[in-house]
Amino acid sequence: MPKKILILSVFVVASCGLAYELIAGALSSYLLGDSILQFSTIIGCYLFAMGVGAHFSKYVRDKDLLARFVDIELGVGLIGGVSAATLFLTFSWMAAPFRLLLYVLVFLIGALVGMEVPLVMRVLNSRQTEFNELVSRVLTFDYLGALAVSLLFPLVLAPYLGLVRTGFLFGMLNIGVALWTIHTFRHELSGVGTRLLRAAAVLCVLLAGFVLSDRMVYWGEHGLYGDEIVFSTTTPYQRLVITRWKDDLRLYINGNLQFSTRDEYRYHEALVHPALQALPWARSVLVLGGGDGLALREILRYPNIAHVTLVDLDPAMTRAFTQREELTRLNQHSLSDPRVQVINADAAIWLQHNNDLFDAVIIDFPDPSSFALGKLYSVPFYGMVNKHVAANGLIVVQSTSPFFAPHAFWTIDATLKEVGWHTYPYHLYVPSFGEWGFVLASPQQHYQPPQQYRLPMRYLTQQTTAEMFAFPPDMQPMPMAPNRLDTQSLVREFEQDWRGVIR
């Protein structure tokens, strides 16, 4: 029986170890962007630390194996359990030491986890377990634990519990292993009473953190955003936060501002109307991204538009902007309009499996801050879009800032040209963002910016439109290579441009 308990504990400790690694990777990618870099460096640091821990496990004396195993479980449970909350609150209130703290915690957790399995194997070996059976059983349960968490984390834990609460949960599982071991081997352990008190104290801390997770996240996000948080959720794809200050609602995705109600009309008028004003005959429009329904609101103002298909990856996004009263007032219930079909799917996959043709395509994705987003600005993606646009139709792409991120902006322009489009880049000033840019593209070289608009506008006029399509000397075109899927140069250009702005 004790042997089976030790082997089963390997399943739990392997699950916990991988969970802490995934939490650190997901949290850092949410807060810092560039998920590939964050996960790569965290995995590397974690595996290196495991190697260090495995090395130092040899210095544990045989008579102390069980005691040290219990102590390590208490340490992993405490450090790993509070790691997500500690990192999130640190980033929110004092961002400077975040990276250092991130890798210190990852290293400490990895080193302790690296000691767990060698100690269990030595305990089992001391109980005259055959070596072949020992290795087979321990590694089997180790890998099964990793598989279980790798499936549960993106499908259940992150979207329904959140990263902070998930950290506390797995910390309690580590403490459970410690208590289980103390109870099972109480006749072989020294200082049982002391270790039970430590385990109980750590368990109380973790349980309190689990119960107060929502409040801690609120404190952290209040420090990060400053304003009242009226809605927040973690989905399998992103962290959505909506804040309010007086009459100003703001949407943040993974900490990045997406719009402010004070000036979003400038952005969305510029995104939609230069194209649709030039297509008075248009009846069908495809919107990729734009799950907030604000671009859709502008499109539906045209009586000639009979059908709009909106493809947005995240159902939590479209659901919030369909159901929450303050948000439906903002988009004027556009997502519930009978002319609109909302599809929650990956845009690239949807384009591959759909044959519909549209008179206009509005592409309103978040900025290409990661490789997952960068693929949506690539040559293959725009090639797929090309197959869904009428011969005399137009597309418009949200293209980040030509002033703050000029290399990224002109890379998007070059990518559209590579597919065979004639491009018409333009820009405007949005107070919440600064100078912002778009690229309008046509399969034929005939587009002229509108001289007037059929609908009343809050920002667009003949003069402001002419100014949008004229670039001053400090935002002139740059010769850039197109963004190809295998290299994704756009993501690097975007990161380097904005890193220069932050400095």
**Which residues are designated catalytic?**
364
Place of tokens 């950290």: 167
Residue 30's nearest CA partner among 168, 236, 214 is: 236
Parallel/antiparallel/unpaired status of strands 358-364 and 284-289: parallel
Helix (H) or strand (E) holding 412: helix 406-418
Cα gap 238→256, rounded to integer Å: 11
Q: At what angle do helices 406-418 and 489-502 cross, to 10 degrees?
A: 160
Structure-token pair, residue 208 = 């309190």
Handedness of CA 194, 198, 203, 204 (dihedral sign): positive
Query: Which pair of tokens denotes residue 54?
Result: 């495995």
* Closest to 421 (Cα-Cα) out of 450, 471, 379: 379
Cα separation of 204 and 220, whole Å?
Answer: 22
Orientation of helix 98-126 relative to helix 131-152, angle to 10°: 150
Q: How many angstroms separate the most distant Cα atoms in the chain? A: 88
Spatial CA neighbour of 377 closest among 416, 405, 421: 416
- On whether the CB atoms of residues 430 and 271 are closer than 8 A, the answer is no
β-strands 307-312, 284-289 pairing: parallel
The number of residues making up the chain comes to 503
- CA separation for the pair 139, 432 (Å, rounded): 53
Distance CA 323, CA 439 (A): 32
Nearest Cα neighbor of 426 from 437, 434, 415, 435 is: 437
Q: Per the structure block, which two tokens stand in for 11?
A: 């399943």
Q: How far is Cα 472 from Cα 403, in angstroms, rounded to an integer?
A: 10
